[in-house]
């Protein structure tokens, strides 16, 4: 039997910028892609080198992006749009189906809405992660 983790039941939360942080669920999450960044390469090659030499730069967690069913009156969706407008660092938590979680800070870069013929309204988001992503395993 596979030990793969099911994504059904994964929840995204957006935090306020107060202490203590209070998280609000961004409801109807449909899909996400996370932590796509990579570190820079620092070239340390000199004229004494016999091949290219490098150091690894700082870790970059990249972006967190996703889609949800558009719920214009949902407090999580409203908070996401407000974070984009405010241009401030915001706290986020992604809780997996087994209760493990990722926590990180980021800027909401975009919060598009889309639709079409014979379709539902969709919403999306792109968050630029700043700093470290913390993972906490399920108990």
What are the tens digits of pLDDT across the range 62-99? 999 999 999 999 999 999 999 999 999 999 999 999 99
Q: What CATH number does domain 11-37+60-136 carry, 4.10.410.40, 3.30.2400.10, 3.40.50.880, 1.10.287.70?
A: 4.10.410.40
* DSSP state at residue 4: P
- What's the angle, vertex CA 114, arms to CA 17 and CA 93, rounded to 5? 30
Instruction: Report pLDDT digits (tens) over 16-61.
Output: 988 899 999 999 999 999 999 999 999 999 999 999 999 999 999 9
Domain range list for the chain: 11-37+60-136
* DSSP state at residue 20: S
Query: Does the global pTM surpass 0.75?
Result: yes
Residue 82: phi, psi to the nearest 5?
Answer: -65, -40
Judge contact between 112 and 104, C-beta under 8 A. no
């Amino acid at each position: 039997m596979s030990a793969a983790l099911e994504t059904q039941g994964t929840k995204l939360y957006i935090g306020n910028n107060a202490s203590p942080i209070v998280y609000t669920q961004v409801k109807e999450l449909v899909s996400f892609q996370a932590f796509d960044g990579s570190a820079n390469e620092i070239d340390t090659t000199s004229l004494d080198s016999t091949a290219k030499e490098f150091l690894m730069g700082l870790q970059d967690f990249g972006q967190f992006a996703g889609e949800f069913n558009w719920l214009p009156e949902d407090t999580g969706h409203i908070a996401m749009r407000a974070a984009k407008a405010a241009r401030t660092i915001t706290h986020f938590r992604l809780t997996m189906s087994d209760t493990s979680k990722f926590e990180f800070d980021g800027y909401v870069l975009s919060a598009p809405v889309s639709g079409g013929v014979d379709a539902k309204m969709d919403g999306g988001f792109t968050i630029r992660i700043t700093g470290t992503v913390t993972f906490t395993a399920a108990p």
